[in-house]
Structure formats: structure tokens, C-alpha cells
């Protein structure tokens, strides 16, 4: 049975607060690039509006960087990297640590910026700030990870030495949904490991995804040229960043469609693509599940930050014996989630971040309802807001289930047996995250191992990330792994030096 829908949120007249008055803003405001340690004003470049998704109004401007800006950023990064690599590991770690402490100092400024630029609730801001500090702390530990390893040789009197060195220059292209964290999880370890960086943030979140990082590291004393931030439209400078001849690695987080283009451009230059892409993640609820825990996980995994995470629950796949109860309880919980201006600390659901994303979610929802999906709660949408929505009578081929909807929608699909559930979960090109609920943990483990994903969470939900644990997917969900020691595979090169200590007898 459908539950009562929420009313439209009301906003006060002061919602479009200017950004340049924040303590964290650099002198002169955010309307600048950051290249070679200098804040460079917009000048004769075009400008890009910073849009508040709650009001759908421009509240600031950043420069639309050019291909020439990208060239210069890579040139200074290349020049700065050799000297930075020679800096003692503990000194590199100290700079990252100082920047991490500034994240805490600017906590309230950043929480405000998340709301204004991302449409993120206070809960979302706290989660992202915790993750950001966590990934920086892990990066500090990586700085001193260049241990030389000795391996035995098959040749008498010979030693094999393996050691790591920085890869060089790292290009980073980051997304708009968790902009500070998803930029920092590449930038902080790259810098700590002795690399220099050129960062191109999303057009939609140029401040939190790029310029805020520049502010942090600038104040922390990072040498000029080690981090450079070029804001701009992906359609105009994305190829210049991804297909440049300078970087050794291109780190990209975003859609699979764009990721394929970025990966191809990087590979053309023999740069290593490190890609974390889309997902269509399944939350499997078995007949043996604890429904309290399954529903708790389902609500958090579907509606946090309006479902705008690559690891959000895209499909709830629920055994037919508990299907009706699960749908009813999920809908009841979703109907009570407070929606409105994310600057209100009681709000949990804010607006979708941009118009294109809003229109895409609405289209998938409407087409699925036309095909027979039933709205149990929510369904209304207006002015970039989409109510937390639970859908029943969904099958795996409907648009809202077959495609990554990236919104506050919870399609619930019934299954008869585990083989069918696994087949449905795996019936996608993506393979990022997943979750399984069963009080029989051994059985849940068997199911988890059959899911074709990079990550699975038993009796939890799909929305998990820990900075010290390998993060990444398979298939169309990406290449490589982030976090902890796994990011070292992306941002360092392994070299082999052998020493022939004793004379060797050759066959000729």
C-alpha cells in the first residue's frame, strides 16, 4: 500500500549565500586557477557559473580553463616533480598531515560549501569529511613505503633488488558527487609518494573538487608546481588533460561512458588509466535475512546523498517470502526522510546536483512506471528535487533497474531462489559493489563469492568505503584499485636492479 507523500520543501530568502566570504576562500575569492603555486584570476577567459542546486541560481564563478592552461600546468608539474621526489618521505608526509589538519579547521566552511555547491546534507558532509581525512592519513603512511625487497636469483652469486619510485606526473579528473574525497583519494597519495599532480575537477563542483584542495595544500606549504588545479568544461579541456603526453597516470572517477574515452586517450599516450566508473549494485535479501538490518541497510544505501554514488543500491533483489513486508517497511521509512534545503541540519535528502542528472532520473522513473512499476511512496519531482521513491512490481529489465539511475529511487525486485537472484544481480555490464543479507553467514559468503563485483558486503549495504581497504570494480566499473597499499600499484613504478656478486660462467 502506498504511504503518504511528502510536501514540497520551503526555502528562506537567504539561501544563495555568496561563497567568497568564507574563511577558507583564497584571497580574491574562488574565481581563479591554481598553477605553479599562484592563484590566477579569470582574466580574459570565459567564466563557469557555480550553481546552487537548491535554488538553481548561480552563486559564483570560476574560470573556464583552456588547453593552453592545461599545457602550462603539466609543464610546471613536470618541472617540480623531480625535486619533490627527492624530498625526504617524512617531509612529504608532514605536508599532507598539515593539509589534513586544515580540513578539520575548515570543517564548517566545507560543510557549507557541500550544501551550496553539491546539494549535500549535513550527514553527507560529515561522511565525506571523515573519508577525506582518512584517505589523507593513509597517504601519510604511504610516504615512507619505499622498502627495497631482495629476491633470490636462479643464477649463482647474484642478488635481485626490487624497489619503487614515483611514477612522475599524475593527471586527476574527478566527479561532482563526492568531490573533495574523490579528488583527495588520488591527490594525497600521489603527492605523498613523490609525484606531482594536475587536477581537473568536475565542472559542477570546481570548488570542492579542485580549488579547495589547492587552498589546503597551498596553506600547508606544498612547493610550487607540485599540485596544479585547472577548472573548465570537460568537453573543452577533458581531452587535453587525459590525452596529454606528460602524465604517467590518468586517474579518473566518473561515468563508464566518459571513462572509456578517458582510458582510450590515456592509453594512446601510454599513460596508465586508473578508472573507477559506474555501478548497478544489487542488495540481495534472502529468506533468512534479518529484515530490520536489511531495511536499515536498504534505506541508507539507496537514499544517502540522494542516491548519487556509484556504490549506491541500484536494485533491491528480495526473496518472494519476505518481499511484501520488505517493500512495506522500506516505503514507510523512505516516506519519513526529511527533504529540503541541505543547509538545514535536520534535512537528509537534498536536491539532485544538476539539471541533466535530474532529467535523466525522472526519465528512467517515468518509463519504468509506464512499463508497470508501482510507486509505493514518493514519485513526485520538482525543481531538481526527487522524493525518496520505492517501486514495487519491478523486473530486472525495466529502465530503472537495468540502468544506473544515480538517484533516490529504490526498485524492489522479487526472486524465487538464490540462483535466480545471483543471475539477476550479475545481469549487468557493471561490477562495482553489492550486498547480501542472511543470518546464515556461510551461505551469504557463498552468494557473495558468486557475485561478479569488486566488493560485496554481508549484512550491510553497498555504500561502503574505507581508505585502508582496496576499492574498485570489475567489468565496466573500472580498472585498478584505490586506497591503502593498492594505490601504490598505480602511483609508483617498480624497478629491478640485480647485482652479480660472484663471477658467472656463461655458455659461450
**Strand-pair category, 281-285 with 313-319:** parallel
Burial status of residue 371 (CB atoms within 10 A of its CB: 0-12, 13-18, 19 or more): middle
Q: Which of 276, 376, 403, 490 is catalytic?
A: 276
Distance, in Å, from the CA atom of 236 to the CA atom of 240, rounded to the nearest integer, reads 8
- Active site (annotated) includes residue 310: yes
Q: What angle do CA 441, 445, 448 make, to 5 degrees?
A: 135
Cβ contacts of 144 within 8 Å, gap of 6 or more: 89, 90, 93
Point out the catalytic residue in the list 72, 117, 128, 310: 310
Using the Cα atoms of residue 465, residue 469, residue 474 and residue 480 in order, give the sign of their dihedral: positive
Paired with 169 in beta bridges are 196
DSSP state of 342: T
Alpha-carbon gap, residue 211 to 123, rounded angstroms? 23
Q: Does residue 276 have an active-site annotation? A: yes
What are residue 505's phi and psi, to 5 degrees? -90, 120
The answer to whether 135 and 483 are in contact (CB under 8 A) is yes
CB atoms within 10 A of CB 26: 17
Backbone angles phi, psi at 338, to 5 degrees: -70, 130
Distances (CA, A) of 163 to 121, 155, 233: 44, 20, 39
Helix or strand run (H / E) with residue 484? none
The answer to whether residues 105 and 216 touch, using CB atoms and an 8 Å cutoff, is: no
CB 174 within 8 A of CB 164: no
Say if residues 254 and 287 touch (Cβ distance below 8 Å).
no
What Rg do the C-alpha atoms of the chain give, in angstroms? 24
Strand segments (E) across 93-168: 149-151, 158-166
Just list the catalytic residues. Answer: 276, 310
Amino acid at each position: 500500500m502506498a504511504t503518504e507523500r511528502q510536501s514540497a520543501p520551503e526555502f528562506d530568502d537567504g539561501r544563495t549565500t555568496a561563497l567568497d566570504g568564507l574563511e577558507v576562500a583564497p584571497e580574491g575569492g574562488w574565481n581563479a586557477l591554481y598553477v605553479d603555486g599562484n592563484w590566477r584570476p579569470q582574466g580574459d577567459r570565459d567564466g563557469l557559473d557555480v550553481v546552487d542546486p537548491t535554488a538553481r541560481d548561480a552563486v559564483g564563478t570560476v574560470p573556464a580553463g583552456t588547453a593552453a592552461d592545461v599545457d602550462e600546468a603539466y609543464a610546471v608539474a613536470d618541472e617540480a616533480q623531480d625535486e619533490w621526489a627527492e624530498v625526504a618521505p617524512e617531509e612529504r608526509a608532514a605536508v599532507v598531515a598539515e593539509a589534513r589538519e586544515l580540513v578539520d579547521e575548515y570543517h564548517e566552511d566545507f560543510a557549507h560549501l557541500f550544501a551550496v555547491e553539491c546539494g549535500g546534507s549535513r550527514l553527507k558532509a560529515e561522511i565525506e569529511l571523515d573519508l577525506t581525512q582518512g584517505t589523507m592519513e593513509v597517504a601519510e603512511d604511504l610516504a615512507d613505503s619505499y622498502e627495497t625487497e631482495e629476491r633470490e636469483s636462479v643464477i649463482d652469486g647474484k642478488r635481485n633488488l626490487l624497489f619503487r619510485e614515483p611514477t612522475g606526473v599524475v593527471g586527476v579528473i574527478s566527479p561532482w558527487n563526492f568531490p573533495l574525497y574523490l579528488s583527495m583519494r588520488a591527490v594525497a597519495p600521489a603527492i605523498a609518494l613523490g609525484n606531482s599532480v594536475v587536477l581537473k575537477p568536475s565542472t559542477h563542483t570546481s570548488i570542492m573538487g579542485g580549488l579547495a584542495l589547492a587552498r589546503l595544500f597551498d596553506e600547508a606549504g606544498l612547493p610550487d608546481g607540485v599540485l596544479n588545479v585547472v577548472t573548465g568544461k570537460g568537453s573543452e579541456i577533458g581531452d587535453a588533460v587525459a590525452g596529454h603526453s606528460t602524465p604517467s597516470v590518468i586517474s579518473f572517477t566518473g561515468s563508464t561512458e566518459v571513462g572509456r574515452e578517458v582510458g582510450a586517450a590515456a592509453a594512446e599516450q601510454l599513460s596508465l588509466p586508473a578508472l573507477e566508473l559506474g555501478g548497478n549494485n544489487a542488495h540481495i535479501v534472502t529468506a533468512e535475512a534479518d529484515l530490520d538490518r536489511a531495511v536499515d541497510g536498504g534505506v541508507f544505501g539507496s537514499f544517502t546523498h540522494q542516491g548519487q554514488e556509484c556504490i549506491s543500491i541500484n536494485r533491491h533483489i528480495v526473496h518472494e517470502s519476505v518481499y511484501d513486508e520488505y517493500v512495506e517497511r522500506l516505503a514507510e521509512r523512505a516516506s519519513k526522510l526529511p527533504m529540503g534545503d541541505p543547509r538545514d541540519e535536520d534535512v537528509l535528502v537534498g536536491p539532485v546536483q544538476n539539471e541533466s542528472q535530474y532529467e535523466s532520473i525522472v526519465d528512467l522513473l517515468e518509463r519504468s512506471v509506464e512499463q508497470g512499476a508501482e510507486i509505493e511512496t514518493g514519485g513526485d519531482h520538482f525543481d531538481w528535487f526527487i522524493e525518496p521513491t520505492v517501486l514495487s512490481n519491478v523486473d530486472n529489465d525495466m529502465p530503472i533497474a537495468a540502468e544506473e539511475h544515480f538517484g533516490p529511487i529504490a526498485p524492489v525486485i522479487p526472486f524465487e531462489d538464490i540462483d535466480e537472484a545471483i543471475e539477476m544481480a550479475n545481469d549487468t555490464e557493471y561490477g562495482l559493489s553489492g550486498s547480501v543479507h542472511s543470518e546464515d553467514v556461510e551461505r551469504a559468503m557463498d552468494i557473495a563469492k558468486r557475485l561478479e563485483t569488486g566488493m560485496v558486503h554481508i549484512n550491510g549495504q553497498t555504500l561502503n568505503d574505507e581508505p585502508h581497504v582496496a576499492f574498485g570494480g570489475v567489468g565496466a566499473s573500472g580498472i585498478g584499485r584505490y586506497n591503502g597499499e593498492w594505490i601504490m600499484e598505480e602511483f609508483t613504478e617498480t624497478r629491478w636492479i640485480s647485482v652479480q656478486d660472484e663471477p658467472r660462467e656463461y655458455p659461450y
